Homo-oligomer: A and B are copies of this chain.
Amino acid sequence: MASKARVLYTFEAQPGSGELNINENEFVTSVFAFRWEGKNARGETGLFPATYVEDVQDVSSPPPVSAPIYPSIPGIAAHADLSAQSSWGVQAAAAPAATAPAAEAPGGDWDDEWDDDSDNDQEQEKPRGGAVAGAADKRTDTLTSASARSQQPQQYDSMMGGSQALATGNQASVKGNLNRFSVFVKSGTENYLLGKLKAHVPDGSYVVISETEWGPMWGTNGKAYTCQILSPKKESKMKGLKTFIAYQLVPSFNGVQVARRYKHFDWLHERLTEKFVLIPIPPLPDKQVTGRYEDDFIEHRMAQLKLWVNHLCSHPVLSQSDVWQHFLTCTDEKKWKVGKRAAEKDELVGGGFFLSTKAPSKGITADIDGEMMAFSNFVKGMDNGVRFVHTTAAENAKRHIGPFKREYEKLGEAFRTLGQAFDQDPIKYSSGLTEAIIKTGETYEGIGRLFADQPRYDTDPMLDTLHIYRGLLASFPEILDIQKRTAQKMKESEKLADAGKLSMTDLTQLRARSDVVSYSVMAEMNYFHQARSASFKSMMENYLEQQIKFYQTIVDNLKQSLSAYRDL
């Protein structure tokens, strides 16, 4: 969805309704789908129906990234029109890097909020970094952590080019200095590889990777569990002066309810992203914007958080991580602070995490370059497919709310008008027919409302899953880049050893560490296939079930309407 839209039809706001006057051909800044909040050319903000505007590129942004071309993927057409939707990546790239060490984040922020809630995240959003909160800003807000390490669409291509260069032995472009600002370096993965990192790993904190029939897989270090999210509660602080929404989480392993606010999720997301460089963390749902559809919004956000939480609970590594366990179980304020500081001071983050990873001791013999290339192609193709479905489904939902609704309502109005005309027959000939026709009109008007109401049951949940997967997919190019640079480092080291500049002992240790990285990437790749299969099965099933229910309701209503004629 573009952050700016051109107004197709003039819309007159009702006074006092929070609606916004928009004029044909002016551009609006969008904030929230379907019923959009936005800013018009005169700087006024308010709500307006999404169907009154059409998406356009943000004209003040850099020119849109052209659609990546995937010559290596047969059977998948590159949908050029999807490039118009790529502002997600563009915006993410402009957001502040979330991979900066936690120590650099404004320190007392959390505690201040925890102890004395000074803002109201149910009603308002606190601008970040002093930037004026426009629509683009709000969108990037929640995508920051997940997307900061994500790549623009071109980077799929540059990554791809890099892999090919590696495969053909052309390493001319690979210089140490060029890597200085890569996540490979910044995350500490390079330092880990070079054996420069040391940290104490407590017993029970190790993550184990095993060889399975599907290849290397994360070990399940603990019992599987789920987590419920109950109806969120409106809570208040400072004698009711400040209100906020607290989501109630109940993990299945202890049944103890904890209350967490959106900002707590946000903090957790930042911790996870910084700790697990090779494990994509799903993006959080958007923050709320001011609006009158509060209950609908909160219910939808709860559904989105449920998906997010489910993803963490299902992941063999994430589900067992200390920070997540702390988030999920801590009910004591003091203990919370202790755990919070421990998470922020965790040494086993980024490259340090590999110190706690136990990979198979057998050296990797598989054609790892080939596997990475194939997976990279898969990610590109899946990203293309996910974007296509996302765009199409979002458009479809708009049509449901706009033109489809109007179409059926108009048909209904026409039948009702005809029935009312029959009702003017002075001799009231066949008044049962007259009533039946009026009823048919009302039935079609009702079907129009059903159309408008339907997306919340089928399309919205689908878009929520796709949103998560767009975030996950966007993380892979960087993960694969880390693997590529690791392999390059190994080749350089082998040359150094050949030249007698590196001892065989050092080379062996370096290879073992390199294998830990490669095993981790492969384990996450394999887990991803498992996760996306489960997610998309569930997504498609829900979509089809809801679609069937929807059309079945139409059939039932029409049958009811038809029966009125049978009785005549």
- Interface residue from B424, B555, B565 paired with A551 (Cβ < 8 Å): B555
Task: Write the nearest CB–CB distance from A372 to chain B, whole angstroms.
Answer: 11
Cβ of A430 within 8 Å of any chain B Cβ, yes or no, is yes
A403 to B395, CA, bound (A): 12
Ordered by A's residue number, 7 sampled pairs between the chains whose C-beta atoms are within 8 Å are A76-B421, A76-B424, A215-B427, A430-B529, A433-B537, A547-B558, A548-B562
Give the interface residue-count category, chain A: 35 or more
19 new A-B contacts, CB < 8 A, other than A73-B424, A391-B414, A425-B529, are: A73-B421, A76-B417, A76-B424, A214-B427, A374-B426, A378-B424, A381-B424, A382-B424, A386-B418, A392-B414, A393-B411, A395-B410, A429-B530, A430-B537, A437-B536, A537-B565, A540-B565, A544-B562, A555-B555
Task: Write the nearest CB–CB distance from A387 to chain B, whole angstroms.
Answer: 9
Cβ of A304 within 8 Å of any chain B Cβ, yes or no, is no
On whether A544 and B558 interact (CB within 8 A), knowing A418-B385, A420-B75, the answer reads: yes
Give 1 or 0 for each of A399-430: 1 = CB within 8 Å of chain B CB. 10001000100110111011111111111011
Q: B389 to A415, Cβ gap below 8 A?
A: yes
A536 to B533, CA, bound (A): 52
Kindly list chain B residues whose C-beta atoms are within 8 Å of the C-beta of A375.
426
Cβ of A154 within 8 Å of any chain B Cβ, yes or no, is no
Which are the 9 A-B pairs with shortest beta-carbon distances?
A385-B418, A385-B421, A381-B421, A430-B533, A429-B529, A392-B414, A374-B426, A544-B562, A389-B414
Kindly list chain B residues whose C-beta atoms are within 8 Å of the C-beta of A554.
551
Q: A382 to B421, Cβ gap below 8 A?
A: yes
A393 to B441, CA, bound (A): 13
Which residues in chain A, 521-568, are within 8 Å of chain B measured between CB atoms? 526, 529-530, 533, 536-537, 540-541, 544-545, 547-548, 551-552, 554-555, 558-559, 561-562, 565-566, 568
- Interface residue from B77, B378, B411 paired with A417 (Cβ < 8 Å): B77
- Interface residue from B388, B530, B533, B562 paired with A545 (Cβ < 8 Å): B562
Kindly list chain B residues whose C-beta atoms are within 8 Å of the C-beta of A403.
399, 403
Which residues in chain A, 411-465, are within 8 Å of chain B measured between CB atoms? 411, 413-415, 417-427, 429-430, 433, 436-437, 440
- Interface residues of chain A: helix, strand, loop or mixed (majority): helix
Cβ of A235 within 8 Å of any chain B Cβ, yes or no, is no
Which residues in chain A, 363-388, are within 8 Å of chain B measured between CB atoms? 371, 374-375, 377-378, 381-382, 384-386, 388
Kindly list chain B residues whose C-beta atoms are within 8 Å of the C-beta of A382.
418, 421-422, 424
Q: A378 to B537, Cβ gap below 8 A?
A: no
Cβ of A495 within 8 Å of any chain B Cβ, yes or no, is no
On whether A437 and B540 interact (CB within 8 A), knowing A385-B421, A417-B76, A425-B378, the answer reads: yes
Cβ of A79 within 8 Å of any chain B Cβ, yes or no, is yes
Q: B407 to A399, Cβ gap below 8 A?
A: yes
Which residue numbers of A lie inside 8 Å of B, CB to CB?
Answer: 73, 75-77, 79, 214-215, 371, 374-375, 377-378, 381-382, 384-386, 388-389, 391-393, 395-396, 399, 403, 407, 410-411, 413-415, 417-427, 429-430, 433, 436-437, 440, 526, 529-530, 533, 536-537, 540-541, 544-545, 547-548, 551-552, 554-555, 558-559, 561-562, 565-566, 568
On whether A420 and B533 interact (CB within 8 A), knowing A548-B562, A558-B548, the answer reads: no
Kindly list chain B residues whose C-beta atoms are within 8 Å of the C-beta of A410.
392, 395-396
Which residue on B lies nearest to A400, using beta carbons? B407
Kindly list chain B residues whose C-beta atoms are within 8 Å of the C-beta of A430.
529, 533, 537
Task: Write the nearest CB–CB distance from A401 to chain B, whole angstroms.
Answer: 13
Task: Write the nearest CB–CB distance from A376 to chain B, whole angstroms.
Answer: 11
Q: A385 to B420, Cβ gap below 8 A?
A: yes
A81 to B264, CA, bound (A): 55
Which residue on B lies nearest to A437, using beta carbons? B540
Kindly list chain B residues whose C-beta atoms are within 8 Å of the C-beta of A566.
541
Which residue on B lies nearest to A390, using beta carbons? B414
